[in-house]
Amino acid sequence: MPQGGARVGKRGQRRDHWSVTRELSVEDVIQGKPTWGTLLRRGATKRCPRCGAGHLYRGWFKMKERCPGCGMRFEREPGFFVGAYLINFAITEGMLFVLVMGFVFWKDQHPDAGVVVPVVIGISIGVVAPILFYPFARTIWSAFDVGMTPLELGEIVEAADAAEASEVGVEDSVGDDGRDGPEPGSLRGRSG
Ligand SMILES: [Zn+2]
C-alpha cells in the first residue's frame, strides 16, 4: 500500500490559506498502520515508523520533535521515551550476555584464559553500546508505539499541519503548540 500519509502536506495550499478548512482524504485518516515488519525495520534503521522518512536527528542525540516527512510527533505522551531506555538497556544486556557466554566457551577450551580482557571488553560495551544504539532505541520504541497505539484523528491532523508548515520552512516554529486535539468536526488548520 502506498504511503499516502506522507503526501498529505502537498496539496498545493498556500500558506495564507491555512485558515480554510483542512482537506484530509479518507485515506489519510483510515489508512491501516504499516505491518509490524515494516514498523520494526524502519525503527531499526533510524527512520520514522509511520512514513519511513529519515533524517530524524540533529546530530547523534537530538531527535527532532516531529518527523520531517509526515509531521508525526514522536513523543506522543509525556515520559514516552522511557521505553527507549528500556530498549537500549535490553540491547546492551544482550551483547553482554553474548560476551559472557562466549567467554564461558572460550574458558572451557582454554583453562588458562584470564578474565582481564573479557572484563575490559564488557566495560567497553557497557559504555559504548548505549551511546551507539541510543538513536536506534528511540525509533524502535516509536515503532512499537505506533504499532500498539495507532495515531488518533487529532494527531493525524496535527501531523498534517506540521508537515505542511515544515514544507514552507517554518518547522521550528510549530513545536510546542500543545497537545490539544482539534474540536470535533473542525479539522481546521492553524489560523494566523
Ligand atoms: Zn514520518
Tell me, in angstroms, the distance from the centre of ligand 1 to residue 72's CA.
Answer: 6
Give residue-wise pLDDT tens across range 69-78: 999 999 999 8
pLDDT tens profile 59-107: 999 999 999 999 999 999 988 889 999 999 999 999 999 999 999 999 9
Mean per-residue pLDDT over the chain, rounded: 80
For residue 81, the model assigns a pLDDT of 87
Buried b / exposed e over 159-180, threshold 16 CB at 10 Å, is bbbbbbbbeeeebeebeeeeee
pLDDT of residue 122: 96
Residue 14: its pLDDT value, please? 44
Distance CA 34, CA 1 (A): 9
Task: Give exposure, 127-155, as e/b (b: 16+ Cβ within 10 Å).
Answer: eebeeebbbbbbbbbbbbbbbeeebeeeb
Contact status, residue 72 vs residue 155, Cβ threshold 8 Å: yes
pLDDT band with cut points at 50, 70 and 90 for residue 126: very high
Tens digit of each residue's pLDDT (9 = 90 or more) over 131-176: 999 999 999 999 999 999 989 888 999 998 898 887 755 444 444 4
Q: In the prediction, which pLDDT does 36 show?
A: 94
The answer to whether the beta carbons of residues 180 and 190 sit under 8 Å apart is: no
Those residues whose beta carbon sits under 5 angstroms from the ion ligand 1 are 48, 50-51, 53, 67, 69-70
| pLDDT given at position 17 | 46
Three-class SS state of 111: coil
Least confident piece of the model among 1-15, 79-93, 116-130, 134-148: 1-15
- d(CA 66, ligand 1 centre) in Å: 8
Question: Ligand 1 centre and the CA of 48: distance in Å?
Answer: 5
User: Ligand 1 center to residue 70 CA distance, Å?
Assistant: 4
Give the Å distance between the CA of 47 and the centre of ligand 1. 8
